[in-house]
A and B are shown apart, each in its own frame.
Chain A
Amino acid sequence: MKQDFSQLRLDKVTRRFAAAGAQSIAALDNMTLTVERGEFIALLGPSGCGKSTALNCIAGLLALSDGSICLDEERIDILPPEKRGFGMVFQNYALFPHMTVRRNIGFGLLMRGESSADIERKVEAVVRLVQLQGHEDKLPGQLSGGQQQRVAIARAIVIEPPLVLMDEPLSNLDAKLRLEMRAEIRRIHRELGRTTIYVTHDQDEALSLADRIVVIKDGRVQQIAPPAEIYGQPANLDVARFMGYRNVLSLDVASQADGRAQLSSPGLRLQGMIKQPLGAKAAAAIRPEELIVGDGPNAIDGKIENVEYSGRDSLLDVITPAGIRLHVRSVVHPAVGAQVRLSVPPERVLVYPAESNQ
């Protein structure tokens, strides 16, 4: 078991599952990814996209159907999980219910045959790190969800693994605790600098935690990029949709030049940035918060159909005369039925080729 490494390489990692009939489905298809030491990587995607499959393949809990995983020069995908020595935090924590917090955390050290003095010292240090002092002799059943979560994290990092794997660790917590634990995970990563691979379906979590995000859909990697790039420049329409580009308009391509496209449809003209080579038809993706109520470039007229007040701003449903519905997040709160003019800077209209099924 290596304590340190400089690169983790996933090369065309594929995992197929038997499905009904003789067919098999690739839950993970040709995933290639290089993780540098110390990075925080988020695998992001909707449920069932294969992100947990990828994590389980790295952990050794699932065998690969194809491809390889290497830690520097050492091929690890053929090793059983106990020989890889990665720390893993499970979605439901998987704390050992019959062991105290102390024994849960010390388990990995015990399995490595460390002396009880060493185990005690290291457990004490990590208990302080995750702020669980005073709970050492409790059973997991006596802890709150947030505390159980801390035990799970402590148990995974106390063995000083080269790689920490987290499988949706916050999904069982309530909203407030989730924010707290998110900051906590970020802090622990900053303090220890352990390479972390974090699976989540929550884009906010991925954006706030990760150095790089891997967006996965239907078992395929869609984009690998830092959070700001994923947020601002989604590589394709699927990623855009997933990252909150709720308005996807289907338009004809009138002209294109210098990376910009003129799009039109009956009653609507838009200028936007070309993200992928276009054909005759295109899809324009716009975030609700980037549509501005007021005159400006790319003006669109419409009528307010619905207003959802949410405190600082409101979510407006605007319908154009041609029947196109737009979602707008706005700090002005117009009344239902009012006529409004919307605008959006061309830089914030992302243009992708139209989906083939449209």
Chain B
Amino acid sequence: MAAPLHTRAAGLDRTLFLVVPAALFMLLVFVYPFLYGLMLSFTPTEGGALANYIKFFTTDNLWPTIGTTLKLAMPATLINVGLAIPIAYQMRRKSPYQKWVTTILVVPITLGTVLIAEGMLTYFGPRGWLSQTLQFFHLYEGPIRLTHNYWGVLISLIISGFPFVFLLILSYITGIDPVLARAAATLGADPWQQFKQIYWPLLIPGIAMAFCLAFVQAFSVFPSAVLLGAPQGPTRVISIAAYEAAFEQYDYSLASAIAMLMGFVQLIIVAFVLGMRRVFYRGPVTGGKG
């Protein structure tokens, strides 16, 4: 083979300059504050460089916040992903309902966390509609406690996180060529096998991605943990600990250390999930030349 007649010299692609504003923005509002916070976390008000981290892991109302947050974020993410997969799968074909169902499911994303929390207080509270309705029909007589505890925060995380997960997974599912499932059907695969053999393996990378994003979102829960939870007890999540350190004890250094640990835990989970993704097929999700 002869060499190509004209190769483009390694000239600068000028569209590269379009990245500059975003890069500057990231540098100023993300990279710099992050590095500053990292430095700050190693310069405690007293003690050695690791004093904040030692303090975190030896103080009884600090280190358990990691577990508390995981106990909220993990189930919320798993439930959201678990609910989103079957619903999105049913919505994969264009249908008259698709638009409506999608709209209804996505509405919570447009409401802020605080608005959802306020609504939940009136709906799920001891004197709320849910409670009154159940009592009116004599379905459940006892008091219903779904606010100011673990369940309140979990429900709010599901409501606010679900639309996001659903939209992500829906876009992955609709990206899979439906002809593949039809081909599987002609080869004898019933609807369950079509899902298991075709959609599921092709979806795993997308689901892993959705899981990571939803988890990171849930792990940094703050307003609903305060408004709907028991911020001094079962829903004392890690962001509350950081908030208290920063704005009640005015120990920015400790708050930075807590924030770093929070990021670290998120990083471990995300790295693990994305690492798992490598095991599975990642590539085009269409069946050959289009």
For residue A40, CB closer than 8 A to chain B, the reply is: no
Q: Is the CB of A88 within 8 A of B183?
A: yes
Q: Which residues of A contact B (CB under 8 A)?
A: 1, 59-61, 80-82, 84-88, 90, 92-98, 107-108, 111-112, 139-141, 145, 148, 152, 155-156, 159, 165, 172
Binding stretch for chain A, among B105-113, B120-128, B161-169, B184-192 = B184-192
15 A-B contacts, Cβ less than 8 Å apart?
A: A61-B185, A82-B186, A86-B186, A87-B187, A88-B183, A96-B287, A97-B281, A97-B287, A107-B184, A107-B187, A108-B188, A111-B189, A139-B281, A165-B186, A172-B288
Contact of A97 among B184, B185, B186, B285 (CB under 8 A): B285
Closest Cβ of chain A to B172, distance in Å, is 14
> How many residues on the B side are at the interface (Cβ–Cβ under 8 A)?
27
Contact of B183 among A94, A141, A148 (CB under 8 A): A94
Please, which residues of chain A bring their CB within 8 A of the CB of B188?
Answer: 1, 82, 85, 108, 111-112, 159
A90-B287 contact, Cβ under 8 Å, with A81-B185, A82-B185, A111-B188: yes
Q: Which residues of B contact A (CB under 8 A)?
A: 177, 179-180, 182-190, 193, 197-198, 201-202, 280-281, 283-290
Which residue, of B177, B187, B189, B290, has the highest number of chain A Cβ atoms within 10 A?
B187
Please, which residues of chain B bring their CB within 8 A of the CB of A90?
Answer: 179, 182-183, 287
A94-B284 contact, Cβ under 8 Å, with A108-B187, A111-B189, A148-B289: no
Beyond the given A82-B187, A90-B287, please list 13 additional residue pairs across the A-B interface where CB-CB is below 8 A. Answer: A1-B188, A81-B185, A82-B185, A87-B186, A88-B183, A94-B183, A95-B183, A96-B183, A97-B283, A98-B281, A108-B187, A111-B193, A112-B188
Q: Is the CB of B187 within 8 A of A94?
A: no
CA distance A97 to B283 in the complex (A): 8
CA distance A140 to B283 in the complex (A): 11
Residue of B nearest to A87 (CB): B186
Please, which residues of chain A bring their CB within 8 A of the CB of B286?
Answer: 92, 97
Please, which residues of chain B bring their CB within 8 A of the CB of A95?
Answer: 183, 287-288
Please, which residues of chain A bring their CB within 8 A of the CB of B289?
Answer: 92-93, 145, 148, 172
A94-B182 contact, Cβ under 8 Å, with A82-B189, A111-B187: yes
Which residue, of A96, A139, A156, A159, has the highest number of chain B Cβ atoms within 10 A?
A96
Residue of A nearest to B179 (CB): A94
CA distance A81 to B180 in the complex (A): 13
Q: Is the CB of B187 within 8 A of A159?
A: yes
Q: Is the CB of A93 within 8 A of B288?
A: yes
Closest Cβ of chain A to B189, distance in Å, is 5
Please, which residues of chain A bring their CB within 8 A of the CB of B184?
Answer: 96, 107, 111
CA distance A159 to B289 in the complex (A): 24
Residue of B nearest to A81 (CB): B185
Contact of A98 among B193, B202, B288, B290 (CB under 8 A): B202
Residue of A nearest to B188 (CB): A111
Please, which residues of chain A bring their CB within 8 A of the CB of B280?
Answer: 98
CA distance A43 to B148 in the complex (A): 69
